[in-house]
Amino acid sequence: MPSLAISGVRIGHVTRDGTGVTVMLFPAGSVGSAEVRGGAPATRETEVLHPLRTVARIDALVFAGGSAFGLAAADGVVRYLAERGQGYATAAGPVPIVPAACVFDLLESSGAPPGPRDGYEAAAVAARGEGFETGPVGAGAGATVGKWRGRAGAVPGGVGIAAGEVDGVRIGALVVVNALGDVVAADGSILAGSVAPAEAPAFPTPEPFEESRANTTLAAVFLDAAIDKSGCHLVAQSAHDGFARALRPAHTRFDGDVAFAIATGAPSSEVVPNLDRLRVVAADVVAGAIRAATVRNDTNDG
């Protein structure tokens, strides 16, 4: 599996009891935005990333298991960064900007949902920059896919990455795939999906379907370029095209699908990137990362 190799982006996991946290730390000056398209998101601080909001920075991003309970993991990351003086400048001192999003893995995990201690530890792991694993680790430890034909047909999901380049800009994606649907290849064949019989009906249980097993795919797209929040928002929109290519179905009422886009402000070349070309590659790498998420336990150098 390829390295992300995005300047200044550091990633760390904490995994325990069938759940976990994945923390992404960004260099000073990074800008981010997000778009939510799933019908059942568990998120924190996504509104501050809207292009019309005042704050134009992002310090870290947290993906976690534990559904809404797991959002507490971001508290630990905020504390970790505040102790090091990183954050949005205020009269009372820096306030770290740490959005978060979670997947539902409460049926797979055997312990308590991730909390502030897990977030703090994952931030410390990320800061060391020692590389990270993909597959059923961190926020993807309890992830499953292929639940749209019934819970019994589900198979493991997890964390996946992919990377590309255009106009001298490196673009990487990290995803946590806990989808209701199947992961499909470019030709439509199923890479990881329901093992229920082909004749099994889709969405077989009475609503609300998520009470049997809720779902979500999370994506973070990293660009080593200087792009404003509006540009990042457009990249986040295009990231969802990658969801639609690699998941069937995607963006259901029972998925909390969210895509983030973060520009590190550290261009890898002097070429001014074409935003639309970046958006095309962003969709490609997100689809590739989703398909790679079912590959087990590969170690990446970050």
For each of the domains in the chain, give its residue range(s) and CATH number, in order of start.
10-300 (3.60.70.12)
Q: What predicted TM-score, i.e. pTM, was given to this entire model?
A: 0.92
Give the bridge partners for 24, in sequence order. 11, 61
E strands within 90-238?
100-102, 132-133, 144-145, 155-156, 158-166, 169-178, 182-184, 190-192, 216-223
Find, among 25, 31, 110, the residue nearest to 76 by Cα.
25
pLDDT per residue rounded down to tens, the chain (302 residues): 346 878 899 999 999 999 999 999 999 999 999 999 988 889 999 999 999 999 989 999 999 999 999 999 999 999 999 999 999 999 999 999 999 999 999 988 888 999 999 999 999 999 999 889 999 999 999 999 888 766 666 788 999 999 999 988 999 999 999 988 889 999 988 888 776 666 666 666 655 554 444 578 999 999 999 999 999 999 999 999 999 999 988 887 878 899 999 999 876 656 678 999 999 999 999 999 999 998 544 446 66
How many CB atoms neighbour CB 90 within 10 A? 8
Residue 278 φ/ψ, nearest 5 degrees: -60, -40
- In this structure, the strands spanning 182-184 and 169-178 are unpaired
